[in-house]
Amino acid sequence: MILTVTANAAVDKTLTVANLQLGRRHRAQQGLVMPGGKGINVARALRRLDEPVIATGLAGGRAGMQITDGLDSEGILNDFVRIAAESRTSTAVVDPTSGLQTEINEYGPEVTADEVGALVDRVRYLAGAVSTVVFAGSLPRRMETSFYADVTREMNRRKVSTVIDTDGEPLRLALAAEPTLVFPNQREAEALVGNEFQTDEDFQHALSAIEAMGAHGVVITLKTGCYALLAAGKTKARMFRAWIPRIEAVSTVGSGDAFLAGFLSAHQAGQAADQCLKMGLACGAANTQTVGAGVFESREVPRFAAMVEVQEIAPTAARAS
């Protein structure tokens, strides 16, 4: 079983608005409200792949009830810690005429030390039944940025694999705790390394730099592909680039979360690194064909997987030295 941890869970509202213009009144053609936050999106995608998964995190107020009730209705096993403050609401506006999407994410509630302690206890308890823990998304206000790092160290002591999908200082600190895998997008990886990536060599150097910060595996996602540094067991880490032809998207919200879910599903099945990347990109692509984060038709995944190209790349001279 896989455990996902969403400390800053949200009620996600996605609106479809054609020809969106600032300062004008619009009527939404379509609206979708569902539990959200990166860890929840990963759990939803895993559920669609028939992977056993349980979601935990912090949830409070009416929005918190909406989150847990929504997970129940989707058949996603969950065990959230109740907090006093109201969970956040996040809104995404998708314009089908331009293909652009605008996301407005609230910061989230303020949490107390006791509530954070209760979440740590919950993760400890649930970790006894899982092989992998995914820590994903932002942290609520007043939560120590070392939270992911602290809990990752404990999971390492328990021999439980850890995946980190966040950014900024929480990601930087978590790397020092030596997680099994980190999953930044290009912008997040550039901020981590301190420079923009323009060439193939830039991405390879970034993979090596992030590995040197402590990660055992690194996947840097792009809009139509990824670069990865992955190891299997005690074998030396190998570098890959993978891509999929650009396809027309309905909404890209949550595609990175679907990618991570697909990767983990293939990894749980014992598939090779290149097949994990292929599965991940296929799920991410399938996610773009409908509105909703982590929402896709599993029967469509093989079709997209057949479009994915994965290539192992030789280390650069800088890495080899």
Residue 136 near residue 5, CB atoms below 8 Å:
yes
Between 14 and 172, the more confident residue is 172
Q: Provide mean pLDDT across the span 261-269.
A: 96
Among 15-24, 226-235, 294-303, name the most confident range: 294-303
Average pLDDT, the chain: 92
Report the candidate in 1, 6, 81 with the shortest Cα–Cα distance to residue 257.
6
> What pLDDT score does 48 carry?
95
Report the candidate in 50, 46, 34, 6 with the shortest Cα–Cα distance to residue 283.
46
> What pLDDT score does 321 carry?
37
Q: Residue 318: is its pLDDT beyond 50? A: no
Between 276 and 25, the more confident residue is 276
User: Could you state, in order of their start, the residue ranges of all structural domains in the chain?
Assistant: 2-320
**How do beta strands 10-16 and 88-95 pair?**
parallel
SS (H, E, C) the chain: CEEEEECCCEEEEEEECCCCCCCCCCCCCEEEEEEECHHHHHHHHHHHCCCCEEEEEEEEHHHHHHHHHHHHHCCCEECCEEECCCCEEEEEEEECCCCEEEEEECCCCECCHHHHHHHHHHHHHHHCCCCEEEEECCCCECCCCCHHHHHHHHHHHCCCEEEEECCHHHHHHHHCCCCCEECCEHHHHHHHHCCCCCCHHHHHHHHHHHHHCCCCCEEEEECCEEEEEECCCCCCCEEEEEECCCCCCCCCCCHHHHHHHHHHHHHHCCCCHHHHHHHHHHHHHHHCCCCCCCCCCHHHHHHHHCCCEEEEECCCHHHHC
What percent of the chain has a predicted confidence (pLDDT) above 90?
A: 76
Q: Residue 316: is its pLDDT beyond 70? A: no
Q: How far is CA 39 from CA 114, 163, 207, 270, in A?
A: 22, 11, 23, 22
Cα(234)–Cα(67) distance, integer angstroms:
40
Radius of gyration of the chain (CA): 19
Residue 312: count of CB within 10 angstroms of its CB: 12
Q: How far is CA 267 from CA 61, 109, 277, in A?
A: 36, 34, 9
Q: Residue 125: is its pLDDT beyond 80? A: yes
Q: Is 2-320 assigned to CATH 3.30.1490.20?
A: no
> What pLDDT score does 319 carry?
43
Confidence of residue 305 (pLDDT cuts 50, 70, 90): very high
Q: Provide mean pLDDT across the span 44-52.
A: 96
Place of tokens 């308890």: 125
> What pLDDT score does 60 carry?
96
Cα(14)–Cα(95) distance, integer angstroms:
11
Residue 266 near residue 279, CB atoms below 8 Å:
yes
Q: Quick one: 279 exposed, middle or buried, by C-beta within 10 A (0-12, 13-18, 19+)? A: buried
Q: Order of strands, edge to edge, in the sheet holding 88-95?
A: 30-36, 10-16, 88-95, 100-105
Q: Provide mean pLDDT across the span 192-199.
A: 94
CA-CA-CA-CA torsion sign (231, 156, 269, 220)? negative
Q: Residue 110: is its pLDDT beyond 50? A: yes
pLDDT in tens, 145-175: 999 999 999 999 999 999 999 999 999 999 9
Contacts of 203 (CB under 8 A, 6+ apart): 197, 220, 227, 241
Cα(9)–Cα(15) distance, integer angstroms:
19
Global pTM reads: 0.91
Between 237 and 216, the more confident residue is 216
